[in-house]
Structure 1
């Protein structure tokens, strides 16, 4: 009887994982999956950015966009979108971005692997980058 429950639980977990993978990327069909490096979300970019966010955009484009994509839209197979509800301020506060840059991040929300620490960015650089990301998030309804 116990074996039956374990087997049923294992099958249910496998089905849940398959369903998550199918819905996470729109389709299990490789032909319709986004190409490696393609943006993962559509991002509305505000017409104007604050001076801090303009500075942050420069830093983001130079350092972060290689993985997190243009305008923080993510890059398939490279890194997650930061314009996403997972990164809203109430879940990932500004200090979490500081810590991610300093220490790196162990993969936990996305299947992209671990984020390594990012050398060469000061706290002030990250503050400006976060200002840019937060303005993008607000423009896309993420508060």
Structure 2
């Protein structure tokens, strides 16, 4: 092997190691850093969420589905629950970072833990595409009310 091949291989190996090491890390001050929840007890809401005075008809239907299937883990009004699941009213879930399609895929396939330290989310049984469409509308309306666009 020549020196150039060894150099390129070494650079690629070092880059791969750095990538894997930093997969679950966010730099401090990162706009999507997760909040410090060390002062919370299990089951405490993680985020403070302002609720709009009213929801669109689709979001109102989505709220009912969310309350039935999602709130046990993600909290009432998607505040998140310490020790259970993250808040969905959080900059991490803004539309430009997690599209509406990401919610459909999460319900259908589950999600590997990657932003939070709650473990993997399993698929959610018993929700139709229409239910998820309503849930997404509900979460997006909560997000907009809380300045997440």
Give the TM-score range, shorter chain. Answer: 0.7 to 0.9
What SS does the corresponding residue of 1:111 show, helix, strand or coil?
coil
What SS does the corresponding residue of 1:60 show, helix, strand or coil?
helix
Query: Aligned-pair distance for 1:35?
Result: 1.4
Tell me the equivalent position of 2:142.
Answer: 136
Aligned partners of 1:74 and 1:127: how far apart in 2?
20
Alignment of 1:44 with 2:71, yes or no, is no
Aligned partners of 1:26 and 1:48: how far apart in 2?
30
Query: Aligned-pair distance for 1:34?
Result: 1.1
Superposed CA deviations along residues 34-76 of structure 1, whole A, max 9, x for unmatched, are 1111100100000010000100000000100011000000000
TM-score, normalised with respect to structure 2? 0.76
Q: Which consecutive residues of structure 2, in runs of 5 or more, have no partner in the other structure?
A: 1-21
Q: Which consecutive residues of structure 1, in runs of 5 or more, have no partner in the other structure?
A: 1-12, 28-32
Aligned partners of 2:110 and 2:43: how far apart in 1?
21
Provide runs of 4+ in structure 1 moved above 3 Å. none
Superposed CA deviations along residues 65-93 of structure 1, whole A, max 9, x for unmatched, are 01100000000000000000000000000
Determine if contact 2:71/2:77 at 8 Å carries over to the other structure. yes
TM-score, normalised with respect to structure 1? 0.79
Tell me the equivalent position of 1:73.
Answer: 79
Alignment of 1:35 with 2:35, yes or no, is no
Superposed CA deviations along residues 117-141 of structure 1, whole A, max 9, x for unmatched, are 0011011100000000000000000
CA RMSD of aligned residues (A): 2.0
